[in-house]
Structure 1
Amino acid sequence: MGHREDLLEGAKRCLLEKGFVRTTARDIVKESGTNLASIGYHYGSKDKLLAEAYVALVEGLSDDFDPATGVAGDAEPGSLDRFQGVWSNIIGTMRGPGSLWRLSVEIVAMGDQLPAVRDHLALAQREAGRGLVSLFLGMREEDVREEDVDSAGAFYNTLMTGLICQYVFDPTTAPDAEQLTEGLRRVIGASAEAAG
């Protein structure tokens, strides 16, 4: 592994231990066994390195979201069973102590003070929406249409952000996958009733 990869791995460990705001460049250097100059050379700034590390951590979790690994492995793509299965898997990643998702809340709360991190992650958020659409609809990410990213992807991202906030604030009252699915079922039913 070279300095670039060492820095990324060190930054991931620092994020999980200290979060964005409390992690210093010296912490990353100590954790990665590299030097301060390497951060600027490979990433441009500590904040950009931390943003890359956060995206890598989230991408590492994305395999856990796959319905094939959990409750709804055989559920029809686009179905309410698939919706429930994917959310069940995602919520499973939120329940552990020291959850990665606490970092998301820190970004939201400190976004204006971490502009490089916020800007980098804003670009990654759209691709996260593409990934979520592919999970719920059972398709490859490269086959997801742009209009689906901008609509369904934005919808799933909004649900995800709300869930993260609720689980970080009070996991005992945050909704589970069954409650989310029942809520969606009622919204669909009310919409159909209003249209009919």
Structure 2
Amino acid sequence: MGHREDLLEGAVRCLYEKGYARTTARDIVEASGTNLGSIGYHYGGMTNLLNAALERAIENWGLELAEAIMSADAEGLTGAERFERYWAHMIDAVATHRPVLMATYDAFVQMDHSPDVRRMIANGMRDARKLWAEVFHGIDAELEPQRADQVGSLYQALISGVLTQVLIDADDAPTPADLTAALRTIAASL
């Protein structure tokens, strides 16, 4: 790896260890084995590097969740069983990924002051909606863009809402069984 990738990987580690707001340039340099000048040279500054690290960490987490969905599907589970298995994995993953997930809230606060942060978050959500539509229901966003966006948006809203509840009060957050029961109730009333 070169300095650019070393910095990015070091910054991702720092996000997990310290979070977005508490990570310093010196922390990243120590974690990456590079030097302070490398941050400006490769990323144009600390904010750009932290944003790239946050984007990488969230992307990795999203891909991990997608893999959990696809592996659950491969085991021949029903749709409801696969849905519950996914939510169990997502809720359990909060403990491991909590610092990065909390860092997203730091980024949300910054987006009104940084068009780059807003663009990163918007692009990430757009990509996530396509991913959820594909992995949950096999909807190809290229072939059915409106349907993929509709289905993906519902999953993105669920993920954001459940994630917030788990981060704030995991003991009182909905369980996977609660979510499945609620979905069945909603579907039955349509």
Structure-2-length-normalised TM-score:
0.83
For the residues of structure 2 that align with 1:159 and 1:181, how far apart are their CA atoms? Answer: 12
Query: Which consecutive residues of structure 1, in runs of 5 or more, have no partner in the other structure?
Result: 192-196
Report if aligned partners of 2:18, 2:99 keep a CA contact under 8 Å in 1: no
Query: Residue 63 in 1 paired to residue 47 in 2?
Result: no
Query: Residue 85 in 1 paired to residue 85 in 2?
Result: yes
Cα drift, residue 14 of structure 1: 1.1
Cα drift, residue 51 of structure 1: 2.0
1:74 is aligned, of 73, 76, 96, to: 76
For the residues of structure 2 that align with 1:147 and 1:101, how far apart are their CA atoms? Answer: 28
- Partner of 1:22, secondary structure, is coil
What is the match of residue 194 of structure 1? none
Report if aligned partners of 2:11, 2:31 keep a CA contact under 8 Å in 1: yes
* 11-20 vs 30-39, which moves further: 30-39
For the residues of structure 1 that align with 2:38 and 2:144, how far apart are their CA atoms? Answer: 38
- Partner of 2:77, secondary structure, is coil
For the residues of structure 2 that align with 1:51 and 1:23, how far apart are their CA atoms? Answer: 12
What is the count of residue pairs matched by the alignment?
Answer: 188
Query: Residues 168 and 109 from structure 1, CA distance in 2 versus in 1: closer, same or farther, beyond 3 angstroms?
Result: farther
What is the match of residue 146 of structure 1? 145
- Partner of 2:134, secondary structure, is helix
For the residues of structure 1 that align with 2:42 and 2:97, how far apart are their CA atoms? Answer: 32
What is the match of residue 174 of structure 1? 173
Cα drift, residue 24 of structure 1: 2.0
- Partner of 2:75, secondary structure, is coil
Structure-1-length-normalised TM-score:
0.81
* 87-96 vs 152-161, which moves further: 87-96
* 90-99 vs 42-51, which moves further: 90-99
Query: Residues 96 and 24 from structure 1, CA distance in 2 versus in 1: closer, same or farther, beyond 3 angstroms?
Result: closer
* 153-162 vs 48-57, which moves further: 48-57
- 1:74 maps to amino acid: G
- 1:184 maps to amino acid: L
For the residues of structure 2 that align with 1:48 and 1:35, how far apart are their CA atoms? Answer: 16
Output aligned runs, 1:1-196, within 5 Å. Answer: 1-61=1-61, 62-65=63-66, 66-70=68-72, 73-75=75-77, 79-96=79-96, 98-112=98-112, 115-138=115-138, 145-191=144-190
For the residues of structure 2 that align with 1:44 and 1:149, how far apart are their CA atoms? Answer: 36
- 2:77 maps to amino acid: A
The alignment's C-alpha RMSD in Å is: 2.6
For the residues of structure 2 that align with 1:157 and 1:55, how far apart are their CA atoms? Answer: 16
For the residues of structure 2 that align with 1:98 and 1:83, how far apart are their CA atoms? Answer: 22
Cα drift, residue 167 of structure 1: 0.9
For the residues of structure 2 that align with 1:97 and 1:63, how far apart are their CA atoms? Answer: 11
Query: Residues 30 and 9 from structure 1, CA distance in 2 versus in 1: closer, same or farther, beyond 3 angstroms?
Result: same
For the residues of structure 1 that align with 2:14 and 2:71, how far apart are their CA atoms? Answer: 29
- 1:122 maps to amino acid: A
Percent identity of equivalent pairs: 36
Query: Which consecutive residues of structure 2, in runs of 5 or more, have no partner in the other structure?
Result: none
Cα drift, residue 158 of structure 1: 1.2
Query: Residues 114 and 24 from structure 1, CA distance in 2 versus in 1: closer, same or farther, beyond 3 angstroms?
Result: farther
